[in-house]
Amino acid sequence: MPLSYPSFDALRLADQMLGEIGERTAAYYEGRIGAAWYWRLPGGVAVVARLDFTVTEERWDVLRAQASTTRAGIFNAADFPFAAYATSATTPPFIHDLQGVAEWSNRLYFQMGHLIADAVCWLSLLQVVAMSPQINPAASYPTLSSLERRLVDHARGKLDGLFNLKALHSAFRREISRARLSRLARTWEADGLLTEPPRRVTYALQSLAEQADRGAAEAGLEPEPTEAALPADRATAAAGTTG
């Protein structure tokens, strides 16, 4: 992290880029405080990002970010050098900061959108990394039931990752009520396992489902066949028996 700091004008220019990252991670974005930008992720993960330089403090040309928890300290870091997103190797973009007056240099050669997308992806992946027992105890995250795992699998495989309540309830209406499904979605959204509406399955929820599947396989457990999974004639018979 830098020992010298950008001017107010340089921070104002960078706010455009960091603000876009913040909009795409709005559930966790805390904004800029002083000379850094902050996110607070599920599992007690704090992320801080700052401008830095590789040549001189008059040329801010890299975004450095670190993720930490109170238990593990700094456990992950990422650099996003502006030159890596330049369309020309001879004209790398940077924020020229001279005596408190800042402006972009070679901005036309800067593919800022790609940097923003990479930063958003890194923030999403941090939730999976944070599930390591060395960073957070296993009890910090829920253990998914067989039904919950199948809901996640259906959302990923049939709904392109969307946790659409209408579609999911249509597929699992014999196993879960619409009200219970809605409560589950709200809980997972509050825990950061689903994105804000339109809700999508996060990397973290996908990882929890995969971990639970591996655990069930290792234990030799098979989910009980449900009415929704039975052929139509057996489902009808089952309904008649319980009636």
pLDDT in tens, 195-229: 889 999 988 899 899 988 888 888 776 554 433 34
Other CB atoms within a 10 A radius of the CB of residue 200 amount to 17
Q: Is the pLDDT of residue 62 over 60?
A: yes
Long-range contact set of residues 66-74: C-beta below 8 Å, sequence gap at least 24: 66/1, 67/41, 67/126, 67/129, 67/130, 69/43, 69/44, 69/45, 69/130, 69/135, 69/136, 70/44, 71/44, 71/135, 71/136, 72/134, 72/135, 72/136
- Position 27 confidence tier, pLDDT thresholds 50, 70, 90: confident
Residue type, position 32, single letter: R
- Position 233 confidence tier, pLDDT thresholds 50, 70, 90: very low
Specify the range with the lowest mean pLDDT, choosing from 4-8, 159-163, 189-193.
Answer: 189-193
Third-level CATH fold of 142-230? Arc Repressor Mutant, subunit A (1.10.10)
Q: Once rounded to an integer, what is the mean pLDDT over residues 230-236? A: 39
pLDDT score at 219: 78
Q: Is the pLDDT of residue 83 over 50?
A: yes
Sheet strand arrangement including 45-52: 29-33, 36-41, 45-52, 62-69, 73-81
Q: Is the pLDDT of residue 84 over 60?
A: yes
Q: For residue 204, what are its two tokens?
A: 């973290």
Rg (alpha carbons) of the chain, rounded to whole number: 23
Q: Once rounded to an integer, what is the mean pLDDT over residues 89-116? A: 96
What rounded mean pLDDT belongs to the chain?
A: 88
β-bridge mates for residue 67, sequence order: 47, 76
Q: Is the pLDDT of residue 138 over 70?
A: no
Residues 75/133, Cβ–Cβ less than 8 Å: no
**What span, in angstroms and rounded, lies between the C-alpha atoms of 17 and 80?**
12
Angle at the Cα of 139 (from 133 to 143), degrees rounded to 5?
A: 105
Rounded to 10°, the helix 8-24/112-129 angle is 60
pLDDT score at 4: 86
pLDDT score at 225: 43
